Structure 1
Amino acid sequence: MRGPCARLRSSFGDADVDIIRLPGDVIEVRSRTTPSAAPTSTLNWLQHWATVTPSTPFLSEVVDGIRVSVDYATAWDAVVRTAFALLGSGVGRGDRVVVVAHNGVDSFVVGHAAMLAGAVWVPIAPQYLGLGADRTKIAQVLEKISPALIFVPDDTLRARVPQGYDVVGQIATDGSAFEGNTLLGHLTGGDRAKLLLTSGSTGLPKAVVYTHRMLVSNVRATAGCLDVRHRSSTCSRRLVTLESRIRR
């Protein structure tokens, strides 16, 4: 039984949805917005907005008490340069690139560079290497993932990574001009893009596979339900994201 149209409010925006009650006390919430055309990867959106609105703020973080913002063009350029640097270091298609870092510009760039290079981004929370953390858990996780490269920008945390892996604190790029569209053309929706670890509450954390198509679908579903275009909060003005722009 289809319920009435609903406008659901949340901290992320207003959701324009149908609420459908199915047998077995199942409630389905379905967007009433026609979905946008789906690209191969979320990276296609980043490249698009870097071209259309290059100077628009995209990423923002606080560093040493000072807010630092990065526009679309700068972010895309950093992702492309880092992707070619990863390829030059020997990271290949399908390889796992672990990123142990707090959410920020660096983790975004390296993770998306890994995906652009055809590798698989594996974000791991810094708590795995924190003081007092169970060292056997991170050792088991890394053994299972078998990464080609581990990126840990924090010096203290980097020293706690188990031996036997290629661990770096930064990825050097040069001033050469690179064309990111070439790498985009090699990606397919079915390629593995990301591994997300479960919490491990019942044992060893499990790696959940996300393809490029799955990430795109997640973003489209979020943007389709939430009317993010009309938010006026300070947060939305400063933190412009892919999700908030794909339907414009």
Structure 2
Amino acid sequence: MPAPFKQIAFGPTRTRKEVSPDGSIHLRLEQPLAPFPKKLTEKLVYWADRQPDKLFLARRNKQGDWVTLSYRQTLDRVRSIAQYLLNLGLTANETIVILSENSLEHALLALAAVHIGIPYSPISPPYSLVSADLERLKHCLQLMTPKVIFAQNGRVYARASQLAQSLFPSVTIITAEEGDAVDFSDIMAVEPTHTVDEAFAGVRPDGVAKVLFTSGSTGLPKGVINTHQMWCANLQQITQVFPFMADKPPVFIDWLPWNHTFGGNHNFGLALYHGGTLYLDDGKPTAQGIETTVQNLREISPTAYFNVPKGFEMLIPYFEREPELRRTFFKNLSMLFYAGASLAQPVWNRWEELAVETIGERVPIITGLGCTESGPSAMFANWGGSFSGLLGVPVAGMQVKLVPNGDKLEARYKAPNVTPGYWRNEEATRSAFDEEGYYKTGDAVKFLDENNPDKGLVFDGRIAEDFKLSTGTWVNVGAMKAKVIAAGSPVVQDVVIAGLDREYVGAILFLNPDACRQLCRLSSEVPAKEAFQHPTVKAYIDQFLVTINQTATGSATRVERAVVALDPPSIDLGEITDKGSLNQRAILRHRASLVDELYQPESTNQPLNQLTNENTPV
């Protein structure tokens, strides 16, 4: 018998399913949505009064020591910063742009803006730091027309700040480190007045709290409007899914970027909503960043842990080697939560095994479905014994409409946590909603059990990503990607599926450099490209293709050829987000030479099921 699950209080999952005459299916949770605040900083005021000395936020300084903020300290600083913004003349018609990574100063400025109803937008740091042409940053700035810009480090963000000043000569630049602009410590020293309280009282639930930019999968990023109501409604919905968070203040250690809805709305918001503690992790799931994350996890015992699939995968070797790390991590843990992509089932299984080895119980692994436009959460599989791809049932107050699209069902949302539209983009807003006002997600889902909707929905790919082969056979890209990653893990890190109007399915493989080096017993100093082209890796992928095709039931589930991408995905080209998610369409468009290589005539290419390598950088 498998080990039991840790006993956790989860919300109800009983749903109501109705079928309309047009064939669409309406699904909702029977539990109603409970009341929620008008704006998020009502919770800051509440907790600052109830538990003023409780630790709210912490981040390590350059010396490695934790710098902390209590709830009372946070509110005091937020009110001072809010007064500074009011002194500049900012209103709900003006905006603030934050260029920087997660930081205490980032949090304080964002909360100050929310507190008095000034829209702000956190922009993806790679747009400023990694991009060669700054075109995406320029696009976001021109849409926001900011009156204030914050950059954590003036030297690091100098190029981005110069661009902003060239676009908006009167913009106020604020920095916290190494800058000759307005110093952040000065704005925290402003004496707040009654005007702050008046502005706070005047914030409307339907006012814009923030603008979060999408990754731009079909072009330049779109700015998703997040209202105060959206944010607070979704946090209450999540609370009803995970009521244990309301029973005891949570403790999170988290790296996920605040310019994304997962880290910025979900994780940051939950910590504040429940009077919990959020430790800012400056690591991330990269070869160097994972070391920082592990060092933090050796010290902090979270009550819930959030990450993307790549992050969970990269942590496994450390947990296997360090029993004390496992004990610290699992000691108070109620759940593991992933989002952003599918978690490979072998990775899922190993985490369950690690929990059992450490505490004798399985810790529930939870996910769901959502998007930036739903702020982010629309549904959850909030029960033990789930599996990768199971999305669960709608959150309270969420109406899900499943609309037939070919042989699939597209999920559409209507709820208090759904965006009213896109910032200064009426055309995109009009096309995003159907005639009944439901947001069209483009996500395809299906019932795990047609006769029992309480068992939840299963991810069935993206409507726009699926395609037909030249034979007229539909290819389910989501299912194919999950199959390839599960079979190829840990060497195969991600994959893009090709084959539109072609005779067969091909795959562009993105490999894990560390896993390839380990497979080939190479030093960590060996360049990734060299490891990718090692004979042992080629042999591994040859066998991997044979293995996955043994279960193929036809041309739509068989990978005939694969090519390894030697160069990492480009953020300038929109091929990847800073969470590590690949953009299928952008990669197929910008790496057309790789796609062509997959479909060279057999006489000029390798035999089917044999690995071909990218010969020149793209």
- Length-normalised TM-score, structure 1: 0.81
Evaluate the alpha carbon distance shift between residue 219 and residue 110 of structure 1 in structure 2; reply closer, same or farther with a 3 A threshold. Answer: same
Q: Contact 1:45 / 1:242 at 8 angstroms: preserved in 2?
A: yes
Measured after TM superposition, the shift of residue 175 of structure 1 is 5.0
The answer for the alignment partner of 1:178 in structure 2 is 193
Q: Any idea what the Cα deviations from partners look like across 1:93-141, whole Å, max 9, x if unmatched? A: 2211001111221111111111223210111121111134431111111
Evaluate the alpha carbon distance shift between residue 231 and residue 45 of structure 1 in structure 2; reply closer, same or farther with a 3 A threshold. Answer: closer
Q: Any idea what the Cα deviations from partners look like across 1:34-92, whole Å, max 9, x if unmatched? A: 72x32221111111111111111111222222222211001111111101101112322
The answer for the alignment partner of 1:89 in structure 2 is 88
Evaluate the alpha carbon distance shift between residue 56 and residue 33 of structure 1 in structure 2; reply closer, same or farther with a 3 A threshold. Answer: farther
Q: Distance in 2 between matches of 1:29 and 1:62?
A: 43
In the alignment, is residue 168 of structure 1 matched against residue 174 of structure 2? yes
The amino acid of 1:244's aligned partner reads H
Q: Contact 2:249 / 2:274 at 8 angstroms: preserved in 1?
A: no
Secondary structure of the residue aligned to 1:83 is helix
The answer for the alignment partner of 2:552 in structure 1 is none
Q: Contact 2:15 / 2:29 at 8 angstroms: preserved in 1?
A: yes
Q: Distance in 2 between matches of 1:104 and 1:178?
A: 26
Q: Contact 1:222 / 1:243 at 8 angstroms: preserved in 2?
A: no
Q: Distance in 2 between matches of 1:50 and 1:211?
A: 23
The amino acid of 2:274's aligned partner reads S
The amino acid of 1:94's aligned partner reads N
Evaluate the alpha carbon distance shift between residue 74 and residue 134 of structure 1 in structure 2; reply closer, same or farther with a 3 A threshold. Answer: same
In the alignment, is residue 190 of structure 1 matched against residue 206 of structure 2? yes
In the alignment, is residue 242 of structure 1 matched against residue 272 of structure 2? yes
Evaluate the alpha carbon distance shift between residue 186 and residue 231 of structure 1 in structure 2; reply closer, same or farther with a 3 A threshold. Answer: closer
Identity %: 23
Measured after TM superposition, the shift of residue 245 of structure 1 is 4.0
The answer for the alignment partner of 2:215 in structure 1 is 199
The amino acid of 2:227's aligned partner reads T
The answer for the alignment partner of 1:222 in structure 2 is 238
Q: Contact 1:16 / 1:31 at 8 angstroms: preserved in 2?
A: no
The answer for the alignment partner of 2:52 in structure 1 is 54
Q: Distance in 1 between matches of 2:141 and 2:148?
A: 11
Q: Contact 2:101 / 2:125 at 8 angstroms: preserved in 1?
A: yes
Measured after TM superposition, the shift of residue 29 of structure 1 is 7.0
The answer for the alignment partner of 1:3 in structure 2 is none
| 1:1-248 correspondence runs (5 A) | 14-20=9-15, 22=17, 23=19, 30=29, 32=31, 35=34, 37-64=35-62, 65-161=64-160, 162=163, 163-165=166-168, 166=171, 167-169=173-175, 170-171=183-184, 172-173=186-187, 174=189, 176-179=191-194, 180-226=196-242, 227-230=244-247, 235=252, 241-245=271-275
Q: Contact 1:128 / 1:134 at 8 angstroms: preserved in 2?
A: no
Q: Contact 1:94 / 1:118 at 8 angstroms: preserved in 2?
A: no
The answer for the alignment partner of 2:504 in structure 1 is none
Q: Distance in 2 between matches of 1:233 and 1:217?
A: 19
Q: Distance in 2 between matches of 1:223 and 1:133?
A: 41
Measured after TM superposition, the shift of residue 234 of structure 1 is 6.0
Secondary structure of the residue aligned to 1:152 is strand
Q: Distance in 2 between matches of 1:122 and 1:156?
A: 21
Q: Contact 1:60 / 1:70 at 8 angstroms: preserved in 2?
A: yes
The amino acid of 2:217's aligned partner reads S
Q: Distance in 1 between matches of 2:155 and 2:229?
A: 36
Q: Distance in 2 between matches of 1:25 and 1:103?
A: 42
Secondary structure of the residue aligned to 2:149 is strand
Secondary structure of the residue aligned to 2:11 is strand
Q: Distance in 1 between matches of 2:146 and 2:104?
A: 22
Q: Contact 1:121 / 1:195 at 8 angstroms: preserved in 2?
A: yes
Q: Contact 2:55 / 2:71 at 8 angstroms: preserved in 1?
A: yes
Q: Contact 1:19 / 1:27 at 8 angstroms: preserved in 2?
A: no
Q: Contact 1:61 / 1:69 at 8 angstroms: preserved in 2?
A: yes
Q: Contact 2:250 / 2:274 at 8 angstroms: preserved in 1?
A: no
- Looking at both structures, which has the greater relative contact order when contacts are Cα pairs under 8 Å and sequence separation is at least 6? 1
Measured after TM superposition, the shift of residue 177 of structure 1 is 4.5
The amino acid of 1:56's aligned partner reads K
Between 25-34 and 131-140, the greater mean CA deviation after superposition: 25-34
Between 20-29 and 73-82, the greater mean CA deviation after superposition: 20-29
- Length-normalised TM-score, structure 2: 0.35
The answer for the alignment partner of 1:4 in structure 2 is none
Q: Name the count of aligned residue pairs.
A: 234
Secondary structure of the residue aligned to 2:209 is strand
Secondary structure of the residue aligned to 1:17 is coil
Say which one has the larger Rg: 2
Secondary structure of the residue aligned to 1:153 is strand
Q: Distance in 2 between matches of 1:224 and 1:242?
A: 16
